[in-house]
Amino acid sequence: MNRRNRNVLCCGSTKVGSRGQIVIPQEVREKFNIKTGDLLLVVENGSHIKLLKQDILTKIVEKLGD
């Protein structure tokens, strides 16, 4: 296993509903402080899908501008 994958953890599972919605497990929402109404970005990375909190991406972009 390469170094990048050592921190990958399975945090639960979820089903896709008929309208394409998923439920993020409560423990994951609590760990990452995801609240109702938060904007999450869906990012494709090869065969993976990642969810990123929009506020984290905003902070990264702001630092790049400094």
What's the pLDDT tens digit per position in 10-24? 778 899 999 999 999
**Which spans in 1-66 are helix H?**
26-31, 54-65
Token digits of residue 29:
């929402």
Q: What's residue 11's pLDDT? A: 77
| This model's pTM is above 0.85 | no
CATH number, domain with residue 47 = 2.10.260.10
Cβ burial, residue 57 (10 Å; 0-12/13-18/19+): middle
The number of domains in the chain is: 1
Domain of residue 29 covers: 3-65
Q: 22-34 in b/e burial notation, b at 16+ Cβ within 10 A?
A: eeeeeeeeeeeee
pLDDT along the chain (66 residues), means of 10: 61 91 93 94 90 84 80
